[in-house]
Structure 1
């Protein structure tokens, strides 16, 4: 089966099972590079015209081509924003399509993008329209983009029952979750681990939102490792190693993220740290 299809199936299927799973990859030479060449941008159904513009091109003003980098970069930030605000193990948002985009300079302070997009909630295959405003500040030190989004119909999707069931299952679990390589180099993962892959996408969105600018286009490539820690203050606590893929530079970035989650509080990132550059000719071995 084609790897892209495997990724889509992995995102759309959620199954319950045993609480403790350790997944190990069937290592191949250049496995990660092969996976990334075939993988689509998470949540995006149209092709991005990545070959039409140089990564360092001058940003256009006025009406934007929806399939080109400037509009796609700004729209991708909206996806990360929605996941940080509303994402959960059973509610994950991805950019479906950019319908229109407009960019303008705001004095000397930055650039503002006005977007009409459609966003997909993957587990239910639900696509709804959104309007959004993304502001990229200028300055010597990079600041996170500022986002406003109106996606009322999308946010009516209710995952409370599924999230609560997962939370109760793992809150008192005596055997803490430990897993690796979600998905593996072939795009597969144990069904029990799919909610934790989704949770990794949500946690990664905090990193991608803070690191995004007008020259990046981030996607979650893989959760390299999941470690559940002891529950604190009724919050499930996790340490994740996450690989991010910048579609512009083709770089793989390795981040460690410590966070808590519960249905009532959502994901709360406690620490995030970029690790040394990942030399990913083959999937990293955590043993």
Structure 2
């Protein structure tokens, strides 16, 4: 039986519908739903039926995809993280706005490739970049390798100019005698102190480096919270920070904690020098997703 999951991604996403493991065309999905008979909890489907259903699911995940369903949305979310690693800053954070079309194909000896037409939004300045073309390849094999992303026809994102805001922030914290330290951004009520907003955004951009590296066809990541951020002394022209962030994997509903060493300056952009997964579980997290 196909399980439909509804997730509302606040801030950077929209409504995503469909199964977390398979997307059926709308007509086929409706037909399957109408024909489904609920099984007793302790019953098992015949092996032949299960094998046929598994084969159908594999076929459904390739070819033209429903842009609102999980396979297309997961691939598009990877594009969002890629754009943040390439162009993000404390005043420029990209989020997925809409997927217009998606197609998937299996590439022999390489993996599964998605062709996407989508739009993204720069959430700080609230500017939408329409109809970017992107390609995402999830490598095959048991050993995890990050997806490979190529983006074209998305030149308008380079027109977003936040150089004045970036330079002002950089000079302020480069000259600071007391180094920044902040916790729980946002707090349990969803509140962010105004002076901490740029460092929430910087944490989101830095987290995209982790989320891009960890993404597979079966994941859908968002940054949930900056648990803490500490500015470190730096002898060069870069601002240096240590971040502890909480990442929400929307499919499994797990919360993962990561520590990152991050540098930033307006000319050099955001760089993540180290990232380390922490060995503890987060529960009862109430916050705004970015």
Q: 1:84-133 CA deviation, whole Å, 9 max, x = no partner?
A: 00000011100011111000011121011000101001122111121101
Structure 1 CA distance, aligned partners of 2:272 and 2:128? 28
Match of 1:132 among 131, 134, 146: 134
Deviation at 1:39, TM superposition (A): 6.4
Structure 2 CA distance, aligned partners of 1:271 and 1:250? 25
Could you tell me the TM-score, scaled by structure 2's length? 0.81
Provide closer, same or farther for how the CA distance between residues 169 and 38 of structure 1 changes in structure 2, counting only shifts above 3 A.
Answer: farther
- 1:47 equivalent to 2:2? Answer no
Residue number in structure 1 paired with 2:76? 75
Deviation at 1:268, TM superposition (A): 1.3
Aligned length: 244
Deviation at 1:277, TM superposition (A): 3.3
Equivalent residue runs for 1:252-271 within 5 Å:
252-271=255-274
Residue number in structure 1 paired with 2:101? 100
User: Per chain length, whose mean CA-contact separation is higher, i.e. which structure has more relative contact order (CA < 8 Å, sep 6+)?
Assistant: 1
Equivalent residue runs for 1:25-174 within 5 Å:
40-44=9-13, 46-49=14-17, 52-55=18-21, 58=58, 60-129=61-130, 130-150=132-152, 151-174=154-177
Equivalent residue runs for 1:220-239 within 5 Å:
220-239=223-242
- Structure 1 unmatched ranges of 5 or more: 1-36
Structure showing greater Rg: 2
Q: 1:174-220 CA deviation, whole Å, 9 max, x = no partner?
A: 01000011111111010000000000000000000000010000001
Contact persistence 1:121–1:127 (CA under 8 A): yes
Structure 1 CA distance, aligned partners of 2:189 and 2:202? 20
Q: 1:36-93 CA deviation, whole Å, 9 max, x = no partner?
A: x99624412x3101xx314476471111111111000000000000000000001110
- 1:190 equivalent to 2:158? Answer no
Deviation at 1:281, TM superposition (A): 2.5
Match of 1:279 among 266, 274, 282: 282
Structure 2 CA distance, aligned partners of 1:38 and 1:213? 18
Structure 1 CA distance, aligned partners of 2:169 and 2:237? 13
User: Residue 177 of structure 2 aligns to a residue in which SS?
Assistant: coil
- Structure 2 unmatched ranges of 5 or more: 1-5, 23-56
Contact persistence 1:42–1:95 (CA under 8 A): no
Provide closer, same or farther for how the CA distance between residues 196 and 38 of structure 1 changes in structure 2, counting only shifts above 3 A.
Answer: farther
Structure 2 CA distance, aligned partners of 1:104 and 1:38? 26
Could you tell me the TM-score, scaled by structure 1's length? 0.81
Q: 1:138-184 CA deviation, whole Å, 9 max, x = no partner?
A: 12211111111121012210111111110010012101000011111
4+ residue runs over 2 A deviation: 37-42, 54-59
